[in-house]
Amino acid sequence: MVLVPVASVGCSGGRDASPESNHAAEGRATIAEQAPPLTNRVNLPDAELAPKAVKLLGGTGADVNCNGCHSITREYVRYWRDLSNVALTNCLTDLQVSTPESARAMLTCMRQVPSDPTSPFKAKNLGIFSAAVPLPWFEYLFKQAYGSDWEAEFKNFKGRVKMPVGEPPQMHAPYTQAEFDLLNEWFTRGLPKLEAVLPDDPPPSKCTAGISPDVAAHVNQMKLEGWGAVNAEKGMLMHGCTAGAPARDCLSSYPRASDMPYGQGWESLDGAKVRILREISYRSDYWTRSSPDGRFVAHGGAQTGTGSTIIDLAQNRVIPAAAKYDPGFFPDNSGFVFQGTKAFFCEESLLTSSPEKVTFTEPQCSANNNVKLYQHVGAALGGGDYWSVDSGFVSDNGGHTTTPSHDPLANFTSSSKIRLTPMIHTGSGFEPEATIEKPVLFEGDTVISPSSRLLVSRLAGPRGVQLGYALRRLVATRSDTGYTVEIPEIARYCLKGGKPNFSFDERWMVIHHYVDKTSDQDAIDLGYRGYWDPGYAPYANKGVSNIYLIDTLTGKRTRITRMQPGQYALFPHFRSDGWIYFAVRNAGQSTEYVAASDAALVLP
């Protein structure tokens, strides 16, 4: 049951104010004003309350609310209940907002790393109360905490944690107080009638691996015609390379991980090298992605604790970006995307002009509400359109602290959908066409290949545990009225891991995988007899994630790093010539690294 303090419900809050307590800094709400209620009790029977709450979340027959990004499953709703319990126990401890010091303490608790005042605010730390952020209580909280500076701080906070994300008409308007009261009441009572109002079709119970001949035919074609071949033929200058030299000789000016004390063991594959491209002194946020030529590296998070960062490796400089997270680059080096209040699409020429910062109001940028969070982008070959894909997703931002010892859950349902948005490159921007939705069963975290001819999704099993990856062909046919799309499945790989990424020749997928503290398979993979082996204990206790290559032709998985306990290799992705970039986080530390591996160039 959600632990809502009685004092917060259906009252104006606040204590009796003495004359001295009425004095506050300019712009700060006074104690005499009293805090507005965070929530109010709702007097409805369970049978009437439950379906109204599920509809607000985005259940059957609802507008697009939370279901615009998440699958509304029983497991996910219970997970949000648990997050809300933690938020009330640890963070929302003074709903009367008795003092400015108390207000600031509650806000500090909502940060990604509460001990670090520069780390960004995280919606996860608020549970369902992230849906109440636009309501009066949070505004009062910021007035108390920041005085005359409250508006700018509150705007940043809302931009980071307000849920649902997005704006009308594609997304539901922010919840009214009455709507949030109803939703919170259901959580407060412990989700009564959950099974009745949110029936779950049973997910598949096992994964049957299979690879059709279509995969080999596609890989053989992409070897000669894919974006890797096209970019090489056009003479794309790869960062850190000498013209005419083999790709494996690139990035030789950067230090090898094996020469650094912290990088011992990172080079796990015989003959492969790992190079350290950048050390950063702040905590990145969610995934890292780079441009096809490897020059620009982007991620959420910044030195100021707000916004995002684009690193120009060629000029050894940092470009602040006024976005949140989820960067992506089109495979022909024509443009990039970031998520903020909307999805921002920009011309690559903006970055090559050496800007001091990126505000996404530049003439090279445009914004739309069509493309949702956790998007991935590709481009059709031969001068075709650009594409973005998004679907239900499970957030993955591990490695800042000791991460739960398993891969992200796969809470996808029988009503899961893949959303495909064609993008027209006008020469000065990227304009979206109508989004196409395709139903899939129990799939999410979908990624599109560079050529836009393949899709791969994580596949859900019982209790939201991942069963594997489903690979699909994307057959898009344009007519006068738009596109028709078919997505037949052509392979299934029974492996676990995070969101995958394709190589530019589309032979490989690369993933990160968190060790499971009770997995014999993970222990044996690291050279131990089983999870009970004492040598495995540091990995189980401190956590670790490694990078793996998956051969799409055979389904074989190859580990290419061996990180030390407490080190997390994350968010791997390819650049055009086959080098793999990835992020390295150290649990409990702000120092991170951007690294590169030539493992895919070493494997036969």
- Assess whether 473 and 426 both reside in one domain: yes
Looking at the chain, the whole-number percentage of residues with pLDDT higher than 90 is: 69
Among 2-11, 155-164, 182-191, 241-250, name the one with the lowest average pLDDT.
Answer: 2-11
- Assess whether 156 and 10 both reside in one domain: yes
Tell me the CATH number at 406: 2.130.10
Tell me what pLDDT residue 152 has: 87
- Assess whether 478 and 537 both reside in one domain: yes
- Assess whether 144 and 246 both reside in one domain: no
Among 124-133, 321-330, 544-553, name the one with the lowest average pLDDT.
Answer: 124-133
Neighbour-count burial for 315-352, b at 16+ CB within 10 Å, e otherwise: eeebbbbbbbbbbbbbbbbbbbbbbbbbbbbbbbebbe
- Assess whether 355 and 494 both reside in one domain: yes
- SS3 state of residue 77: helix
Choosing from 197, 232, 252, the residue where a domain stops is 197
Is residue 205 in a domain? no
Is residue 203 in a domain? no
Nearest partner of 341 among 511, 199, 171, judged by Cα: 171
Domain that holds residue 108: 6-197
Q: Is the CA virtual torsion 131, 289, 353, 346 positive or negative? A: negative
Confidence of residue 21 (pLDDT cuts 50, 70, 90): very low
Token representation of residue 581: 């970039």
CA distance 291 to 280: 18
Q: For the whole model, what pTM was predicted?
A: 0.78
Span 462-489, average pLDDT:
93
CA distance 268 to 560: 5
pLDDT digits (tens, 9 = 90+) for 44-101: 999 999 889 888 887 665 566 776 777 777 777 887 888 888 889 889 999 999 999 9
Tell me what pLDDT residue 123 has: 85
Q: Check whether the bond before 422 is cis (ω within 30° of 0).
A: no
Q: Give the CA-trace dihedral at 252, 258, 259, 261, to 10 degrees.
A: 140
Confidence of residue 27 (pLDDT cuts 50, 70, 90): very low
Contact 389, 446 (CB under 8 A): yes
How far CA 225 is from CA of 220, 230, 239, 382, 504, in Å, comes to 9, 6, 22, 9, 10
Tell me what pLDDT residue 172 has: 63
- Assess whether 511 and 436 both reside in one domain: yes
Contact 407, 497 (CB under 8 A): yes
Span 564-577, average pLDDT:
97
Tokens 């992230």 -> residue:
130
**Beta partners for 329?**
336
pLDDT digits (tens, 9 = 90+) for 199-239: 777 788 889 999 999 999 999 999 999 999 999 999 999 99
Choosing from 147, 166, 197, the residue where a domain stops is 197
How far CA 595 is from CA of 311, 329, 397, 574, 584, in Å, comes to 13, 18, 17, 12, 7
pLDDT digits (tens, 9 = 90+) for 166-203: 665 555 678 899 999 999 999 999 899 888 888 777 78
- Assess whether 172 and 243 both reside in one domain: no
Nearest partner of 386 among 344, 432, 346, judged by Cα: 432
Contact 421, 370 (CB under 8 A): yes
* Eight-class DSSP state of 359: -
Determine the Cα angle at 50 with ends 47 and 51, to 5°. 95
Is residue 477 in a domain? yes
- Assess whether 322 and 412 both reside in one domain: yes
pLDDT at 467 over 50: yes
pLDDT digits (tens, 9 = 90+) for 311-363: 999 999 999 999 999 999 999 999 999 999 899 999 999 999 999 999 999 99
- Assess whether 184 and 221 both reside in one domain: no
Among 50-54, 119-123, 313-317, 418-422, name the one with the lowest average pLDDT.
Answer: 119-123
Tell me what pLDDT residue 8 has: 42
Confidence of residue 20 (pLDDT cuts 50, 70, 90): very low
Is residue 436 in a domain? yes
Q: Is the CA virtual torsion 7, 8, 10, 14 positive or negative? A: positive
- Assess whether 183 and 235 both reside in one domain: no
Q: What's the mean per-residue pLDDT of the chain?
A: 89
Confidence of residue 32 (pLDDT cuts 50, 70, 90): very low
Tell me what pLDDT residue 159 has: 82
Is residue 169 in a domain? yes
Choosing from 168, 197, 226, the residue where a domain stops is 197
**Beta partners for 345?**
337, 366
pLDDT at 29 over 50: no
pLDDT at 284 over 90: yes
pLDDT at 16 over 60: no
Span 581-596, average pLDDT:
94
* Domains identified in the chain, total number: 2
Cα 308 from chain centre: 13
In order, the DSSP letters of 326-352 are: EEEE-TTSSEEEEESSSEEEEETHHHH
Tell me what pLDDT residue 420 has: 97
- Assess whether 417 and 307 both reside in one domain: yes
- Assess whether 522 and 492 both reside in one domain: yes
Is residue 543 in a domain? yes
